[in-house]
Structure 1
Amino acid sequence: MAHLSRSSRSESASSKTHTSLENDPVTVAGNSAHVSSGDRLHVAKTADAIRRACDLRDLDALVSYATSEGGFLQDELRRLAWPILLQCDQSARESTLLPEHDLPPHGDEEQVQLDVNRSFVYYPECSDEELSSKKNELYKVIKQVLRNYPMLCYFQGYHDIVQVVLLVLGENQSAPVVARVSLLRIRDYMLPSLSPAVKHLQLIPEIIETADKALSRHISGIQPFFALSATLTLYAHDIQEYSDIARLFDFFLAWEPVVSIYLFAAIVMSRRKELLEIPADEPEMIHFTLSKLPSPLDLEGLISRAVQLFHDCPPESLQSKVWKRIPQCSVLKTSRDVFKRQSTDTVVELFHQQTRQLRSEERKKQVIGFLWSHRRTISSVAVAVLIGAMSIWIRKRGLDNSILSYIDRFRMAFQSCV
């Protein structure tokens, strides 16, 4: 695979405005004056190989390229590869999404508009007029997906994911891809509650415990909520370089959803020395450090480390019961084979099934919470009910006179002792 330095890949962010230069494979390596002819040839050959894999719908090859250094290299190739990986390209698309103006509004559209107004903070670099146009496109894509799938619950940060897809694919091609990402990659995050996302986070300490026990002990007092923002938004909220987040999406779309969790475990482990230097009795400082992604971000090294972690300690091999407690209808379990064909109807039913389970769990928690908060009153009532039931049973058995006689004897004996 072509060797692409981080600085070179950052320079390729100029493609964020989709200039004609992005069709040249060499532009991914930045200024061609600093790229050897051998590297230029290698990049060009790799780009041609990716195109052939797309033409043949060779999913294994696409996964390999998405995992190798540089990923799909440029947006022109991503526009070919991403829909194929998500099984929504023209040759595989089940149905076309209905236009948003043909459907009733989604209940979260007001919040969507507020978030869209704050979108495109770091990229692209363009005029105010172009930026306004991009925001309108972003709002339309999100509305179309949510109106087609009204059971999906919007969360703040969803727009960060969609804006990456929009910048890569353009408005016309984005909605089907965003719909598949929503249903097959981040479905658990679009449920009525974020409690499934919290369950996902509990996998991070388990992965670290398996791979690095010393580091695990050092940060054992820290709950993994520090990873919520990054994992919830597929890192789109936290990564500021367009070239980096587009390349990271190559990896995420080619692998099963749980790899985003493994990537954060890899990030934590990459900071081992820094974390061990923080005293264990300063959990606030450890949490603060973990809540910020390292800078600079060695994206290629982290992807490689995440893949290694996934192979060394897959989720089903983790020692605790965290993986077992994740429902079978969770996207982490139903999308383990990203090549398996899943119909929209099947995925929607899985969503409803998990929603029912989620509501059942919440009702149980409410009942347990009520019982615990009223435990003294409930205990008194329970004793009274028990005594009443026993007295009825005693009378029905005709034992009341004999038991009362024993009580009288005991009372007289007690008085004589006094």
Structure 2
Amino acid sequence: MKRGAGGSRREGSEAERGRSRSRSGATAEHNGLRKKEKLLEMTRALTSDPVAIDVLRRAAVSRGGLLTDEMRRRVWPKLLSINVFNLPPKPGKAIRENHKDYNQVLMDVRRSLQRFPKGMREEQCQVLQEQLIDTILYILKGHPELHYYQGYHDIAVTLLLVVGERMGIAMLEKLSAHHLRDFMDPTMDSTKHILNYLMPILKRESPRLHDFMCRAEVGTVFALSWLITWYGHVLSNFQHILRLYDFFLASHPLMAIYFAAVIVLHREQEVLDCDCDMASVHHLLSRIPQDLPYETLISQADELFQHHPPYDLAKQAALQYRKSITITTFQDFQRATLDQRPDSILRQRLHNDSEAASVLPVMGNNGLVKMAVWGLSATLGAAALAVAQTALEWTPEFLFQLF
């Protein structure tokens, strides 16, 4: 009797495991089908004339984002209205001559060496550092109204990894003129104003949490590095960073501050359990957990933006709304993305142009560059240190371009 009962239990357990495996297999199959359908939908949007930019934006925001780096290389430029057949040239050696920001950029990039992928050879690291320096200086030299800030290279790193040097320069240039523009003023006044949006969002969603943080006098500096690097400086998982870039590239420039709000709201109980003083709360909030439910938070940030749009928060944020270049130019920028031709038509137009070869991106003959490309892995290093209250020490991870 007992052996029979035990056998029945074992059989029942094995049957349950079998059903569990069956459910897992069905879920994986379903997810695979959904991924294929989404990739097909994005491909159709890219080839429609004009490009169905709204479809691409929705895909970038929705669960899973753009799914693959290959798709990101195709969609990211469209989200920024970039003609992939008219890219900037690779910077020459002269880009560094007499550049006022060269020494600062050099120091920041040199400090980033410790965050390169482990096992990378010294000559490979040199190639990567040189590309990052030249990319940043190219933008700054072409736009003297823009001012370098520490953390700018964290964004450049991500772009270079996914889309390569020439496209990375084109994207960084467009972002610097729009999404990142307020961060590149001579002073940090505009950046502080953007941070001022955080507390009004928290007040509307959780008055209790808002009041606790006000009593602690923690301010918003804990979120500074999140905002100005699009979280590239504080997250260790590169796939999480890419997912957020999908989201931010398809959204309003202030979406990064809405995402900061949902992170704080997600950790509400942790905050309330803290001692109500600046040091304790800042210490907690300045360190982002690496296991956040990113898809859930992205969805929540998008909902927060719909429920509490920037213009509705501007007065509470004490923001001089009309003076924010990033915000006031965004609608025109977004409208400009709606009338893009698909790449197939641009390619045909270029084919008929006698100067086509001069604008098409080509693979260089530098053996060192090729070796660096072959030797790299697409993995971001360890999480960054927390932001100090009085100063920031940037040590960004740099990964090389894929093509």
Shared fold by TM > 0.5?
A: yes
- Whose helix fraction is larger, Structure 1's or Structure 2's? 1
Aligned to 2:271: 275
Q: Secondary structure at the match of 1:239?
A: coil
CA shift in 2, pair 1:122/1:248, >3 Å? farther
CA shift in 2, pair 1:172/1:319, >3 Å? closer
Q: Deviations over 1:270-298 (max 9, x none)?
A: 10111111232x33101111111123122
CA shift in 2, pair 1:266/1:239, >3 Å? same
CA shift in 2, pair 1:238/1:137, >3 Å? same
> 247, 250, 255: which one pairs with 1:254?
250
> 114, 118, 121: which one pairs with 2:111?
118
**Share of identical aligned residues, percent?**
31
User: Residue type of the partner of 2:28?
Assistant: S
Aligned to 2:287: 292
The answer for unaligned runs of 5 or more in structure 1 is: 1-32, 343-418
Q: Deviations over 1:175-204 (max 9, x none)?
A: 111101111111111111112111111110
Q: Does 1:234 align with 2:230?
A: yes
Q: Secondary structure at the match of 1:131?
A: helix
Aligned to 1:345: none
| Structure 1: distance between partners of 2:131 and 2:119 | 15
| Structure 2: distance between partners of 1:295 and 1:102 | 41
| Structure 2: distance between partners of 1:337 and 1:198 | 24
Bigger RCO of structures 1 and 2 (CA < 8 A, at least 6 apart): 2
| Structure 2: distance between partners of 1:299 and 1:198 | 25
Aligned to 2:198: 204
| Structure 1: distance between partners of 2:213 and 2:274 | 10
Aligned to 1:61: 55
User: Residue type of the partner of 1:158?
Assistant: Y
| Structure 2: distance between partners of 1:257 and 1:105 | 33
| Structure 2: distance between partners of 1:120 and 1:181 | 25
Aligned to 1:81: 75
Q: Deviations over 1:129-168 (max 9, x none)?
A: 3333222221221122112112211111111110000000
CA shift in 2, pair 1:110/1:102, >3 Å? closer
| Structure 2: distance between partners of 1:228 and 1:187 | 15
| Structure 1: distance between partners of 2:205 and 2:116 | 36
Q: What is the Cα deviation at residue 121 of structure 1?
A: 5.0
Q: Secondary structure at the match of 2:334?
A: coil
CA contact (8 A) 2:101 2:137 kept: no
Q: Secondary structure at the match of 1:340?
A: helix
Aligned to 1:180: 174
The answer for unaligned runs of 5 or more in structure 2 is: 1-24, 338-403
| Structure 1: distance between partners of 2:302 and 2:113 | 30
User: Residue type of the partner of 2:175?
Assistant: V
> 27, 41, 48: which one pairs with 1:49?
41
Q: Which has the larger radius of gyration?
A: 1
Q: Deviations over 1:86-114 (max 9, x none)?
A: 111237x6x84684556664310111111
1:333-344 → structure 2 map (5 Å cutoff): 333-336=328-331, 338-341=333-336
TM-score, length basis structure 1: 0.68
| Structure 2: distance between partners of 1:169 and 1:120 | 21
CA contact (8 A) 1:328 1:334 kept: no
> 300, 304, 307: which one pairs with 1:309?
304
Query: Aligned-pair RMSD on alpha carbons?
Result: 2.5
Q: Secondary structure at the match of 1:339?
A: helix
| Structure 2: distance between partners of 1:158 and 1:339 | 23
Q: What is the Cα deviation at residue 212 of structure 1?
A: 1.2
| Structure 1: distance between partners of 2:113 and 2:248 | 21
User: Residue type of the partner of 2:80?
Assistant: L
| Structure 2: distance between partners of 1:304 and 1:177 | 25
Q: What is the Cα deviation at residue 329 of structure 1?
A: 4.3
